[in-house]
Amino acid sequence: MTGIDSMNPQNPPLSDEALMAMALEAAREAAAMGEVPVGAVILDPATGQVIACAGNGTIGAHDPTAHAEILALRAAGAALGNYRLTDLTLVVTLEPCAMCAGAISHARIGRLIYGADDPKGGAVAHGPRYFDQPTCHWRPEVLGGVMAEESAAILREFFKQRRDVRAGSLADSGMIREVRGAG
């Protein structure tokens, strides 16, 4: 999804929640492809135009860097003909990891909005807190927790389904057996 004009008189400016809803849809599409459900949207706040939208693609692309944020940054850079995405807004369903935080800084994103916290892999409010480091040369404005429950719920359901499928496969193979009367 690229080039959505939200400044058209029939389209009011997109709220943070409307942008997150678009990112959540990209996350759902990623999940349908077997990818971890994370979605990202990039908006030009000056024009109100959505420049790029992407979901995770690491598995399908055989590329460990194909996180939703990276794919959206690449698409926005290609659309604008510039690797600097100065002052654009990036909306993502999950707190960015260190790799994505570094790319966000290098791209000069002006505002980062994310949904669910990621205490294990996040690098904005957790872990290395990338934007707080003295070696970080560009720090976006950060707003976390936008539609956090919806973002977290998609991830929980995705991983629950994967565990259920795995447990079913192991039980079918005879590797897991129910033990009754143990105690």
150 catalytic residue (yes or no): no
Tokens found for residue 177: 């057996």
Tokens found for residue 30: 């990623």
| DSSP conformation class of 134 | T
Give phi and psi for 92, each to the nearest 5. Answer: -140, 145
Out of 35, 69, 150, 178, pick the active-site residue: 69
- Identify whether the C-beta of residue 78 lies closer than 8 Å to the C-beta of residue 72: no
Q: Where are the beta strands (DSSP E) in the chain?
A: 4-5, 39-44, 49-55, 89-94, 111-116, 141-144
Tokens found for residue 57: 């693609």
- The helix (H) or strand (E) run that includes residue 42 is strand 39-44
Catalytic residues, by residue number, are 69
